[in-house]
Amino acid sequence: KKKIIIDCDPGYDDAVALLLAAGNPNVEVLGITTIAGNQTLEKVTRNALRIAKLAHLDHVSVAAGSARPLLRDQVVVAANIHGESGLDGCTLPEADYTVDQRNAAQFIIDTVMREPPQTVTLVPIGPLTNIALAVRMEPRIVERVKEVVLMGGGCHIGNIKPMAEFNIENDPEAAHIVFEEKWPIVMIGLDLTYQALATAEVKNEIAAIDTDAARFLTQVLARFSETYKRSKGFDEPPVHDPCAVAYVIDPTMMQVRKAPVHVEYRGLYTNGMTVVDLRKPAPEDCHTSVALKLDHKRFWDMIIAAVKNL
Ligand SMILES: Nc1ccc([C@@H]2N[C@H](CO)[C@@H](O)[C@H]2O)cc1
Ligand SMILES: [Ca+2]
């Protein structure tokens, strides 16, 4: 089994990532850590606990992380997409357990240093503040972590800004720290996740599944579709975050290419941009890769199988 720690800001698509991780038999979730992003830390943490309960992950620790970016003094949330609660319009059980007493960075360090080397994959699907804090507190996790597979960035493509993706732009200094460490990073950016569209066919297949998880997923996709249509004019929403979990489960589902990536954190128009160098073959020692092509059918079949399982 692939052992992962998911760092998230639930959020509709974060919820789908958690359902996939919970329902797929080849993944063991060692922990869920939360970060302010789509909504405030308090709201995303409450959502994470409730999703864990629904997904039968309530044996897994949830550790809350940073309430703000490293340097910026205000949290920019995405209420236009995820609503005031971060999961507007979705029915979830109340969680009957509370957060781990450690903060996310400490939880990540303890877990990575406890498990055998090269066995834990970090799966950040929100702003990278907790990951940056963890690596500054305990630099040894860099050579101990198997891989960092993150949803964020893009190749000269943006959403929250013309050239910047939300997770990176939310805390560019943290992202810079994470990308400059020499651990293997697979960047699942917008180039890839814009292919992960929740089509009507996919929604119909999910609507026919008689599990609580599937019913929750139907609500999530309905609301995500509505807000993406209203605020971005998309007919079908790109379900970003489960793409990172799907890669961990089955890397052959995507075409990935080694390429240098550096984060702009002093840009005027490009702050938070992941500057990906695709001009020539990457140097041998390049530690970063970017995902470019998704097998759409295999992706959604994997998610559908997962919610059938729950
Ligand atoms: N408009 C919008 C803003 C933020 C996100 C969140 N940030 C990432 C996509 O930019 C995902 O992790 C998702 O949870 C999605 C849509
Ligand atoms: Ca997210």
From first to last of its 310 residues, the chain has per-residue pLDDT tens of: 999 999 999 999 999 999 999 999 999 999 999 999 999 999 999 999 999 999 999 999 999 999 999 999 888 999 999 999 999 999 999 998 899 999 999 999 999 999 999 999 999 999 999 999 999 999 999 999 999 999 999 999 999 999 999 999 999 999 999 999 999 999 999 999 999 999 999 999 999 999 999 999 999 999 999 999 999 999 999 999 999 999 999 999 999 999 999 999 999 999 999 999 999 999 999 999 999 999 999 999 999 999 999 9
Which ligand ends up closest to the CA of 193? Answer: 1
The most distant pair of C-alpha atoms in the chain lies apart, rounded to whole Å, by: 52
Residues facing residue 4 across a β-bridge: 29, 121
Q: For residues 8 and 189, give the distance between their C-alpha atoms in angstroms, rounded to a whole number.
A: 15
Closest by CA position to 213, among listed 30, 23, 13: 23
Contacts 24+ apart (CB under 8 A), 196-200: 196/238, 196/239, 196/240, 196/242, 196/243, 196/294, 196/296, 196/299, 197/236, 197/237, 197/238, 197/239, 197/296, 198/224, 198/225, 198/236, 198/237, 198/239, 199/236, 200/236
Rg (CA), the chain: 18
Q: Which residues contact 226 (CB under 8 A, 6 or more apart)?
A: none
Which ligand ends up closest to the CA of 7? Answer: 2
Q: For residues 22 and 18, give the distance between their C-alpha atoms in angstroms, rounded to a whole number.
A: 6
Question: What residues are in contact with ligand 1 under a 6 Å CB criterion?
Answer: 11, 13-14, 38, 78, 81, 125-126, 151, 159, 165-167, 240-241
Q: From the CA of 9, how far away is ligand 1's center (Å)?
A: 9
Q: From the CA of 281, how far away is ligand 2's center (Å)?
A: 30
Look up the pTM and report it.
0.98
Pocket test for ligand 1, best of 130, 163, 167 (most atoms within 8 A of CB): 167
Which ligand ends up closest to the CA of 13? Answer: 1
Q: From the CA of 60, how far away is ligand 1's center (Å)?
A: 24
Pocket test for ligand 1, best of 77, 163, 228, 240 (most atoms within 8 A of CB): 240
Query: Which residue is catalytic, options 240, 262, 287, 296?
Result: 240
Q: From the CA of 85, how far away is ligand 1's center (Å)?
A: 15
Of ligand 1's atoms, which has the minimum distance to the CA of residue 14? 14
Judge whether 296 counts as a catalytic residue: no
